[in-house]
Amino acid sequence: MNGKIGGQRPRPRVALLGSFEPDDMEHFEHMFPTIWLAKNIVDLEDMVDVREIDLMIIAKGIEYIGDWLNTTHGICFSDLIDNLPGPTSNTYLEITSTAETEEYLFPDVPLPISRRRGADFNDLDSVRRWPRISLTYSQIETTKLATAKAIFNRSGIICELQTNSPLAIYFLREDTNLGVGWFPSLDKNLSAWVELLVTEWAQTDKDAFPYFRDWTESREWMVAEEEEILSKIEDLKKKKQETVNKIDKQISELSTSLATAKLNANKGRRRLITAQGPELVDEVMKALNEIGFKVMPVDDQIADNKRKREDLRLSHSGKMGEKWNAIVEVRGYARSAGKTDDLQRLGQFAKLYQKETGQFPDKLIYIVNGQLELTQPSQRQEPLAPQPDDLEVFSDSDGILIWSIDLFRALKTTEHTDYPALIESIKCAQGRWVSVDVSSPKEN
C-alpha cells in the first residue's frame, strides 16, 4: 500500500520489563532510540502494543510475560519465567532442574560471544545449583522435533559438563527467525550481553536493528570507492522499484481489462461452449452473421399456434449472384452429444421449407452443443460420434453437422479476411464440418 505512515518511532523499539541497574539502563538508553520501561506486563500493555516492539528484555525477578515473545525478539535474565519460545513451533524452553556438579563446558560460539563469555565466566569455581534450561514440546511432527533438538543442542553458551544441559542459551527460531536468549544465572554486564545478541540478530533482521550491522557497511567508515559503488547500487535499486511499480500498475490495469473481457466472453462468444436453448440459438445466429451469412430467426416469424419449424434460415449470394439457402437446427444437451432424432426432424423441416418456398434448401445444418455437464470442453465427445451411419444418411440429403465448439474455434483462429473461405467451407461441406483449415475443409 502506497502512502505515508505516521506515528512510527525510531528502531529498534525496545520494551524493558522489570528493574535494571543504573549502568545497564544508561547503556540501553545509549543503544536504543525508543524504549518503554514497565515494572510488570500489565503496565507494559498499557504503554505499547506488542506489534510495535522489536525486542523485549526481561529483568531478574519477573515471573510472567504473557505471549509477547511469540512476535518479538526476547532476552530474559529471570529464572522465574515458566517458559520461553523454543526453536520451532510447539516447542518451549523451561527450567525443570538445577545443575548438580561444579564442572561446566564452554561450547563453540562466535568469537565476540566467546570473548564476552570468557570475561564473565572464566573465573567461575562452580555452576552447582545453576538453573538448567530444558527443551519441552507438544503435538509436534517428528521432523520438526528433530530440527528443534538440533538447534537447542548447538545453542548453549555455557553448559553443565556431566549432562551437557545449557545454563545460558541463545538461538534464532526457525519458523519466525526471531531471537531468543535466556541467561537465568547472569547477574552482571547484562547490557553488554544484550548488545552482543542484538548485533548478532541484526545480520538477519536489519529492519528491526538497523544500527547494529557490520560497522564497515556504514557510510561513515567507507572509503570513497565503496561509497561511489554503493550510490550506484542504491540508484539502480530505486530505478528497479520504479520499474516494478510501473509494471505492477500495468498488470493491475490489464487484469481489470481481462476480467471485463472474460465477463463479456461468458455473456457472448463463449456461449457456443456453455449455453443451450435460446441463448445458444442467439449466439449461433451472431456467429453466422459475423462470418457473412444472412441469418433469419424462424421462430420470430411463426405464430404460436403454427407448427414448429427450424431455428434459423441462412442465405448467401455467390460471386455470380447465385442464391444459396440453408435451414439450421440448434440444439444443446446436458448429457447427450447429439441425437439422430434431430436429423430426422431437420428432414421434416426441409419438406415444409420446400412446400413454403417451392425449392428444397441447399443445406440442412445441425449445430449441437452437447454434454454440457462435462464442464471441461476437452472432455466432451464429438456429436454423433457413435452413429456414423446415421450421419452418412444425413449427409446424402445435403446435411452437415457442426459442433458449436468447432464454430467457436473457427471464429477464434480465422481472420476476417478469411471469412469468405469459411463460408465456402460450410456451403461445400458434407457430413461432419471440421474447421481445422478453412481453405480446404475436411469432408466425410
Give 44-70 pLDDT, tens digit per residue: 999 999 999 999 999 999 999 999 999
Residue 305 pLDDT > 70: no
Q: What is the pTM of this model?
A: 0.54
Residue 147 identity: T
Residue 213 pLDDT > 70: no
Q: How far apart are CA 410 and CA 422, in angstroms?
A: 8
Q: How far apart are CA 345 and CA 335, in angstroms?
A: 20
Please check whether the domain covering 271-432 is classified as CATH 3.40.91.
yes
Q: Are residues 316 and 426 in contact, defined by beta-carbon separation less than 8 angstroms?
A: no
Is residue 410 very low, low, confident or very high in pLDDT (cuts 50, 70, 90)?
very high
Residue 392: how many other CB atoms lie within 10 Å: 14
Q: How far apart are CA 149 and CA 162, in angstroms?
A: 18
Is residue 440 very low, low, confident or very high in pLDDT (cuts 50, 70, 90)?
very low
Average pLDDT over every residue of 390-404:
94
Is residue 3 very low, low, confident or very high in pLDDT (cuts 50, 70, 90)?
low
β 91-98/84-85 pair status: antiparallel
> What pLDDT is stored for residue 442 in this prediction?
41
Cα angle for residues 359, 362, 368 (degrees, 5° grid): 125
Q: Which residues contact 223 (CB under 8 A, 6 or more apart)?
A: none
Q: Delimit the domains of the chain by residue range.
A: 13-214, 271-432
Q: Are residues 281 and 300 in contact, defined by beta-carbon separation less than 8 angstroms?
A: no
Residue 336 pLDDT > 80: yes
**Among candidates 38, 15, 55, 34, which has minimal Cα distance to 170?**
55
